[in-house]
Each structure stands twice: as structure tokens, then as C-alpha cells.
Amino acid sequence: MKKITSIKTRITIWYTTLMFVLIVVVLSLVVGLSYQLSIDSVEKDVILQVTQVTEKLSKRQPGVFEIVESKEEFKNVSIYGTDGKYLVGQYHYDVETIPFRAGLPRKERIGGKDYIVYDTRTPGPRGAPGGFWIRGVESVSSTMLLGRSAIVIMLVFIPLVLLLAAFGGHYITKRAFHPVNNIIKTANEISSQKDISRRIEIAPDSKEDELHQLSVTLNRMLDKIEHLMRQEKQFTSDASHELRTPISVILAQGEYLLDLAEDEKEKELAQTIVEKAKQVSTLVSRLLLLARIDQHRQKFNKEKVDLGVLVDIAIDSMKDFASQKEILLFSTVEEGTIVDADEPLLLSAITNLISNGIKYGNESGHVTLSVSKLGEKTEIVVSDNGIGISKEHLGKIWTRFYRVDDVRNDVYGSNGLGLSMVKSIIELHGGSITVKSEVGKGTEFRILL
């Protein structure tokens, strides 16, 4: 299964990572830059001190050794003989192992520390051998204070700042996404309870941002859909109602014609009129019933119904139909199974299931009805050993006007409304209906009341 990561978590991870990268890059730049600046200033300082001492020595100014020995401004300079022997300097640097090299200041690593070393040499008197080596040495590490504190900041404050950013950010996005949760909740309620009258909750003090606009727009759209659905249901209800009388008249006139028919041809014609009128009449009454249930207008006369009696009536009414295909009808009813139900409605649901069992049953097959108590509930199972329904169709059979095989069903004047009607009736009783089927083996409908 695909792992669901909420947008809130993704946003939090994204900007926390971004922040971390940003902080590390900025701090690295600051540390690098400050290090470079420190080196530059150390170099300048060392060059200045060494150059001044070199000039004094070149001009043979008296007292240079004393100045180097005592003055603060020359504290980084030492004077050596040309043989490398230390002569004078405020600090005796431990750098004799580094050979003297006149030229540019350079970085040397001594005892794990970085130093800037700058050497110059003064010539001997009038080009004669002799002279001095003047060496300036200054440690770089002492100027690295900023770098160190930056590392401390990195190690201590960054995790703290990141934690704060992650928690704070997650809290803010969670609040900002609250309307989305409301939208999801409402959409789920509408689809699971099929109640289109639900609306997305909008807090009166909510900010008028994009999500607020989305909730308002969706609510407006739901109003429109609800209105259209109501209109459509009203139309179905009105149309079925208007069709009822003319169809009853056609049916009555057809039956009258059938009685008057003098030859086979007339009889056949009248028979067709009666059959088709009956089909349309069934269709219209199913549509009317569904429209009434949808509009919560269906009368529901709850009474104590003995399922033993109800099953007998249902089987009795289907006997003739079953015998046309030599299908046997069986029933087993647990003694004293009484339910609170609207008898005519429940009877029509059960009769419908038996009728389907016969319609889609094989010649000489059987349809079985069993009623049993399941704790507080009652279970009614209608099963057959007929043609069965393939998996591909099984999920769709409850849809209005859905028929698995149009041509085959036409023999019985099917309209694909039977099972949707059964389902609506059972749900009106607060029950549920499920189906199991295997092609070539049979079908089983299970009602729980």
C-alpha cells in the first residue's frame, strides 16, 4: 500500500531541511570569510613589524636590538644571525626548525597550530658577509575566536532552532490546514451516509484565505447539487405519478381486448399489450417507490411481522412462475421469528429476490429461503443454483437500471430496478443486504435486519 505522508509533514520536512542547509551554508561562509580576514590582518601586522625592524637595521640605527626587545609594537619580531642563531626578540619562537626563506609571508603548521611566518634578510656592511635574518611570527589560531564560537553555535543552537522551527511550523500548518480536514470529513460523511444535505463547517472567526474560499465554494456547489438532485427526484416522482393512470387504463383496456379477442392473431396482439402494460406498470411503481424513499416520503407502517407467514406468502405468490422452469422453492424458518417491519414492503423485497432466483436460475434448479435469528438480529438468506453473477458485475447490480445482460433479461421484461428497490427497502428498515455469487454455481443474497 502506498504510504500516505500528509502535506503538513512534507512542508515541515521541506522547510526544516532548507533551513538547516541555509544555516550551514551561511555559517560556513562566515567562518571561512572571517578566517581569511584574520589571516590577512595577521599578515599585514607581521609584514609591518618585520619591515620596520629591517629598515632600522639596514640604516644601522643604533639601539634596534633594545627596541625589538622591549617595544610592544615589535612583539612578534625576532632577530637571528645569518647562521640562524637567535640573537634578540621578545619571544623566542620555537621555529628554528623552519628554514629561513625570504619572500612572501607564508602559513606554517607548528605543533598543531597555524602561524604566519615572514622572513627578511639584511645584507652585511657594504656587501660583506654578515647581516641578519629578521623573522616575524604570529599565531593565526588566536584570531580564530569567531570561527570557534560559530562552531559552538552550530552544534548547540542549530538543533534548537530547527526543533523550534519544525514544531512551530507544524503547528501553524496544522491550523492552516484545519479547513481541509473539515472538507475531507464532510466529503466522507456525504459519501458514506449518502446525505447530500451536509455542509463543510466554517468557523465564524476563520480567516478569509484561499481555504476559506474553497470551503465556501464547495458549500455553494453542494447547494446546487442538492437542488438539482431534489429537482430530478421530484421529476421522477411526478412523471411516475402522471404515468400511473394512463397505464392502468391501457392495462384494463388490453385485458378487455383479450377477453373480446376472436382469433389467435387478435389474442396475441392483446396479450402483447397486456404484458407490456404490466411491465411499464411495474417500472412506474418501482420508480415511484424509489422516489418516495429518496424524498423520505415513503409511508412506513411498522408492525410485528411473523417471517414464517411472510415467507409462505412470498413462496406461494412465486409458485406458478417457478413451475414454468420446474424450479423448486424451499424454505426453512426458525420458529417464532418476528421482526418490526412494514409487511408489504418487506414482502415485495423478498418476492423480488425469489423472482430473480427463478429468472436467473437454471431449469429444474432450486431457490432456497432460510430465516434465522442471529442474536438481536434476524438473517434472511435467499439463494439459488442459477447462472450466477461475475465479479465484474457484482459491484454494480445495486445501481438503478443496471442489467448484466440486456438481451437475456428482455425475455422477462426486466428493468434493472429490482435490486435497487430491494436495497432501499432493506435500508429503510435499518437493515443491510449483501451478495455472494459465482458464475455457473449460483447466487446468495443475505439480509440482516
Would the CA dihedral through 251, 253, 254, 258 be positive or negative? positive
Residue 55 to residues 13, 43, 64, 120: CA-CA distances in angstroms?
Answer: 63, 18, 10, 10
Supply the minimum distance, in Å, between the C-beta of residue 322 and ligand ADP: 13
Supply the minimum distance, in Å, between the C-beta of residue 240 and ligand ADP: 16
Segment interacting with ligand ADP, rule: CB under 6 A, options 18-26, 59-67, 266-274, 411-419 = 411-419
Q: CA 266 from chain center: how many Å?
A: 66
Residue 376's CB is within 10 A of a number of other CB atoms, namely 5
The grid coordinates of residue 250 equal: 391501457
Return the residue of 274, 305, 419, 447 that touches ligand ADP, per CB under 6 A: 419
Return the residue of 384, 428, 431, 449 that touches ligand ADP, per CB under 6 A: 384
C-beta of 84 vs 395, nearer to ligand ADP: 395
C-beta of 219 vs 282, nearer to ligand ADP: 282
- How many Å apart are CA 67 and CA 53, to the nearest integer? 9
- Contact status: 415 vs ligand ADP (CB under 6 A): yes
- How many Å apart are CA 283 and CA 291, to the nearest integer? 12
- Contact status: 356 vs ligand ADP (CB under 6 A): yes
Return the residue of 31, 288, 387, 433 that touches ligand ADP, per CB under 6 A: 387
Supply the minimum distance, in Å, between the C-beta of residue 357 and ligand ADP: 5
Residue 136 to residues 55, 69, 81, 141: CA-CA distances in angstroms?
Answer: 14, 13, 14, 16
- Contact status: 366 vs ligand ADP (CB under 6 A): no
C-beta of 254 vs 357, nearer to ligand ADP: 357
Return the residue of 68, 414, 426, 428 that touches ligand ADP, per CB under 6 A: 414
- Contact status: 416 vs ligand ADP (CB under 6 A): yes
- Note whether 211 and 180 are within 8 A (CB): yes
- Contact status: 385 vs ligand ADP (CB under 6 A): no
C-beta of 58 vs 415, nearer to ligand ADP: 415
Q: Which residues contact 126 (CB under 8 A, 6 or more apart)?
A: none
C-beta of 128 vs 411, nearer to ligand ADP: 411
Segment interacting with ligand ADP, rule: CB under 6 A, options 42-50, 126-134, 316-324, 383-391 = 383-391
Supply the minimum distance, in Å, between the C-beta of residue 444 and ligand ADP: 9
Segment interacting with ligand ADP, rule: CB under 6 A, options 56-64, 99-107, 239-247, 415-423 = 415-423
- Contact status: 369 vs ligand ADP (CB under 6 A): no
- Contact status: 423 vs ligand ADP (CB under 6 A): no
Residue of closest CB approach to ligand ADP:
418
C-beta of 40 vs 410, nearer to ligand ADP: 410
- Contact status: 360 vs ligand ADP (CB under 6 A): yes
- Contact status: 365 vs ligand ADP (CB under 6 A): no
Return the residue of 19, 404, 439, 448 that touches ligand ADP, per CB under 6 A: 404
Nearest to residue 435, comparing CAs of 392, 407, 395? 395
Return the residue of 89, 105, 136, 386 that touches ligand ADP, per CB under 6 A: 386
The grid coordinates of residue 351 equal: 418476492
- Contact status: 315 vs ligand ADP (CB under 6 A): no
- Contact status: 397 vs ligand ADP (CB under 6 A): yes
Contact positions toward ligand ADP, by CB under 6 A? Answer: 356-357, 360, 384, 386-389, 397, 402-405, 409, 414-419, 443
